[in-house]
Chain A
Amino acid sequence: MSVPAATGLKRLHLDKTLFYALLVLAGLSLMVIYSATGKNLNATGAHFLRIVLGFIVLLIAAQIPPQTLERWAPYIFAVGIALLLAVAFKGVVGKGAQRWLSLGFIRFQPSEIMKLAVPMMAAWYLSRANLPPTWWRLALAALVVLVPVVIIARQPDLGTAVLVAAGGFFVLFLAGMYWRVLAALAVAVAAAIPFAWQFLHDYQRKRVLTLIDPQADPLGSGYHTIQSMIAVGSGGFYGKGWLNSTQAHLEFLPESHTDFIFAVFAEEFGLIGSLLLLGVYLVIAARTLLIAYMAQDTFTRLLAGSLALTFFINFFVNMGMVTGIMPVVGIPLPIFSYGGTAVLTLMASFGVLMSIHTHRKIAEM
Chain B
Amino acid sequence: MLNIPLKDYFRETRVFNSRLSAAAIIMAILSLLLVARLTYLQILSYRHYSTLSQANRVRPLPIPPVRGLIVDRHGVVLAQNYPVHTLEIIPEQVDNMKSLLAELKGLVRITEGDEKSFRKQLRERPRFEALTLRTHLSDEEAARIAVRRPHLNGVELQARLQRHYPLGGLGVHAVGYVARISDQDLERIDKTAYRGTRHIGKLGAEAAYEHLLLGQVGFEKVETTARGRALRTLERIAPVAGQNLYLGIDARLQAIAEEALVGRRGAVVALEPVTGTVLAFTSTPTYDPNPFVNGIETDAYKALLDNPNKPLINRALNGQYAPGSTIKVFFGLLGLEDDRFDTSKPLNCPGHYSLPGSSHVFRDWRKGGHGVIGLHEAVVQSCDVYFYRLATAVGPEALRDFLAPFGFGARTGVDLPNESEGLLPSPKWKAARGQKWYPGETVVTGIGQGMLLATPLQLASAVATLANSGVRVRPHLLLAQQDAKGVQRIEAPTRTAGAIELRVRAHLNEIVRHMVGVVHDNKGTAYRIGWDAPYKIAGKTGTSQVKSIAQGAAYVAEATPEHLRDHALFIAFAPAEDPRVAVAVVVENGGHGGSVAAPIARKVMDYAILGRVQPPAKPALRSEHEE
- A233 in contact with B12 (CB, 8 Å): no
Q: Is A150 an interface residue (CB 8 A)?
A: no
**Chain B, Cβ-Cβ closest to A292:** B20
1/0 contact string of B30-48 vs chain A (CB within 8 Å):
1101110111011101101
Q: Which of B179-218 contact A (CB under 8 A)?
A: 187-188, 190
Closest chain A residue to B1 by CB distance?
A297
Beta-carbon contact of A38 and B128 below 8 Å: yes
CB nearest neighbor in A for B126 = A38
Contacts of A289 in B (CB 8 A): 20, 23-24, 27
Please tell me which stretch of A4-12, A123-131, A332-340, A344-352 contacts chain B, meaning at least 4 of its Cβ atoms lie within 8 angstroms of it. Answer: A123-131
**Does A250 sit within 8 A of B, measured CB to CB?**
yes
Size class of the B contact interface (CB-based, 8 Å): 35 or more
Query: Does B92 have its Cβ within 8 Å of any Cβ on chain A?
Result: yes
Residue pair A246, B23 in contact (C-beta under 8 Å): no
Which residues of A have CB within 8 Å of B125? 40
Closest Cβ neighbor of B12 among chain A residues: A131
- Which of these binds chain B: A54-62, A186-194, A207-215, A268-276? A268-276
Q: Could you tell me the distance between the alpha carbons of A316 and B27 in the complex, rounded to whole angstroms?
A: 9
A319 contacts the other chain (CB 8 A): yes
Residues of A within 8 A of B484 (CB): none
Residues of B contacting A233 with CB < 8 Å?
A: 41-42, 45-46, 48-50, 52-53
Residues of B close to A312: CB separation below 8 A: 27, 30
A96 to B188 alpha-carbon distance, docked (Å): 9
Does B114 touch A at the CB level, under 8 Å? no
| In the bound complex, CA of A302 to CA of B13 (Å) | 11
CB pair B37 A323 closer than 8 Å: yes
A39, A170, A237, A309: the one within 8 Å of B43 (CB): A237
Scoring B residues 120 to 138 as 1 if CB is less than 8 Å from chain A, else 0, what string do you get?
A: 0001111111000000000
B187: chain A residues within 8 A (beta carbon)? 94
Q: Which residues of B contact A127 (CB under 8 A)?
A: 4
A-B interface pairs (CB < 8 A), number: 155
A235-B56 Cα distance, complex, nearest whole Å: 14
CB of A156 within 8 Å of the partner chain: no
Alpha-carbon gap, A246 to B188, bound state (A): 29
Q: Is A357 an interface residue (CB 8 A)?
A: no
Q: Which residues of chain A are within 8 angstroms of B31 by Cβ–Cβ distance? A: 278, 282, 316
**Is B16 positioned at the interface, with any CB of A under 8 Å from its CB?**
yes
Given A229-B41, A320-B34, A234 contacting B46 (CB threshold 8 A) = yes
Knowing A271-B38, A278-B31, A323-B37, the reply to whether A130 touches B12 (Cβ < 8 A) is yes
| CB of B412, distance to nearest CB on chain A (Å) | 26
User: Does A174 touch B at the CB level, under 8 Å?
Assistant: yes
Q: Is the CB of A252 within 8 A of B59?
A: yes
1/0 per position for A126-161, CB-CB distance to B under 8 A?
011111100000000000000000000000000000
A176 within 8 A of B: yes
B34 touches A316 (CB 8 A): yes
Give A295 Cβ to nearest chain B Cβ, in Å: 9
Which residues of A231-273 are within 8 A (CB) of B? 231-237, 246-247, 249-252, 266, 270-271
Cross-chain contact of B50 among A176, A236, A325 (Cβ < 8 A) = A236
Contact status B23-A237, CB under 8 Å: no
A249-B38 in contact (CB<8A): no
With A and B bound together, what is the CA distance between A5 and B190 in angstroms? 50
Given contacts A128-B4, A229-B49, contact A40 B12 (CB under 8 A): no
B17 contacts partner chain A, Cβ-Cβ < 8 Å? yes
CB of B37, distance to nearest CB on chain A (Å): 5
> Given A38-B127, A282-B31, A325-B33, A271 and B39 touching (CB < 8 A)?
yes
> How many residues of chain A get a CB closer than 8 Å to chain B's CBs?
60
Contact present for A230 and B49 (CB under 8 Å) = yes
User: A296's closest neighbor in chain B, by CB?
Assistant: B1
Q: Does A341 contact B (CB under 8 A)?
A: no
**Closest CB-CB distance, B164 to chain A, in whole Å?**
30
- What is the distance, in angstroms, from A87's C-beta to the closest C-beta of chain B? 16
Residues of the A chain whose Cβ atoms lie less than 8 Å from the Cβ of B80: none
Minimum Cβ distance to chain B for residue A67 (Å): 9
User: Among the listed B4, B7, B12, B56, which residue makes an inter-chain contact with A247, where contact means beta carbons less than 8 Å apart?
Assistant: B56
Chain B residue at smallest Cβ distance from A179: B22
B37 & A316 in contact (Cβ 8 Å cutoff):
no
Q: Which positions 305-323 of chain A face chain B at CB distance < 8 Å?
A: 305, 309, 312, 316, 319-320, 323
* Min C-beta distance of B515 to chain A, whole Å: 46
In the bound assembly, the distance between CA atoms of A275 and B190 in angstroms comes to 36
**Does A285 sit within 8 A of B, measured CB to CB?**
yes
Give the shortest distance, in Å, between A10 (CB) and chain B (any CB).
24
Q: How far is the CB of B407 from chain A (nearest CB, A)?
A: 28
The distance from the CB of B51 to the nearest CB of chain A, in whole angstroms, is 8
Cβ A230 vs Cβ B52 within 8 A: yes
Is B311 at the interface (CB under 8 A from chain A)? no
Q: Which of B41, B50, B59, B228 contacts A323 (CB 8 A)?
A: B41
Partner of B23, one of A234, A249, A275, A305: A305
Determine whether B6 belongs to the interface, using a CB cutoff of 8 Å to chain A: yes
Which of A131, A132, A285, A309: most chain B CB closer than 10 A? A131
Tell me whether B8 is interfacial, beta carbon within 8 Å. Answer: yes
Return chain B residues, CB-CB under 8 Å to A301.
16
How many angstroms from the CA of A292 to the CA of B13 in the assembled complex? 11
Contact with A along B428-451 (1 / 0, CB 8 A): 000000000000000000000000
Partner of A174, one of B11, B23, B188, B228: B23
Residue numbers in B under 8 Å from A298 (CB-CB): 1, 7, 12, 16
Chain B positions within 8 Å of A324 at CB level:
37, 41
Do A131 and B16 touch (CB < 8 A)?
yes
Is the CB of A41 closer than 8 A to any CB of chain B? yes
Among the listed B17, B38, B41, which residue makes an inter-chain contact with A275, where contact means beta carbons less than 8 Å apart?
Answer: B38
A358 at the interface (CB under 8 A from B): no
A37 within 8 A of B: yes
Interface residues as binary, A285-297 with B (CB distance below 8 Å gives 1, 0 otherwise): 1000100110001
A249 in complex: contacting residue of B17, B30, B52, B128, CB < 8 Å? B128
Contact of A230 with B56 in the complex, beta carbons under 8 Å: yes
Contact pick for B34, options A38, A131, A278, CB 8 Å: A278
Q: Do B56 and A42 have beta carbons less than 8 Å apart? A: no
Q: Is the CB of A325 within 8 A of B128?
A: no
The residues of A that contact B41 with a CB separation of less than 8 Å are: 229, 232-233, 323-324
User: In the complex, A39 Cα to B17 Cα: how many Å?
Assistant: 47
Please encode chain B, from 90 to 105, with 1 for each CB lying within 8 Å of some chain A CB and 0 for all others: 0110000000000000
B59 x A250 contact (CB < 8 A): yes
A166 to chain B, nearest CB (A): 12
B559 CB → nearest A CB, Å? 46
Q: Provide the bound-state CA to CA distance between A247 and B54, in Å.
A: 10
B534-560 residues at the A interface, CB under 8 angstroms: none
The interface residues of chain A lying within 8 Å CB-to-CB of B129 are 38
**Roughly how many angstroms separate A232 CA and B53 CA in the complex, as a whole number?**
10
Min Cβ gap A325→B in Å is: 6
Partner of B224, one of A42, A250, A271, A319: A250
Tell me which residues across on chain A come within 8 A of B52, comparing CB atoms. Answer: 230, 233-234
Closest CB-CB distance, A43 to chain B, in whole Å?
Answer: 9
> Measured between alpha carbons, how far is A231 from B56 in the docked complex, in Å?
10
Report yes or no: B42 in contact with A246, Cβ–Cβ below 8 A. Answer: no
Residues of the A chain whose Cβ atoms lie less than 8 Å from the Cβ of B16? 131, 174-176, 298, 301-302, 305
Q: What are 10 A-B residue pairs whose CB atoms fall within 8 Å in the complex?
A: A37-B126, A40-B124, A130-B12, A174-B23, A219-B60, A237-B43, A246-B56, A275-B35, A289-B24, A305-B16
What 6 new A-B contacts, CB under 8 Å, besides A38-B92, A250-B228, A323-B37? Answer: A40-B123, A237-B42, A289-B23, A289-B27, A305-B16, A325-B37
- List the 4 closest pairs (A to B, CB-CB), nearest first: A233-B49, A38-B127, A38-B126, A234-B53
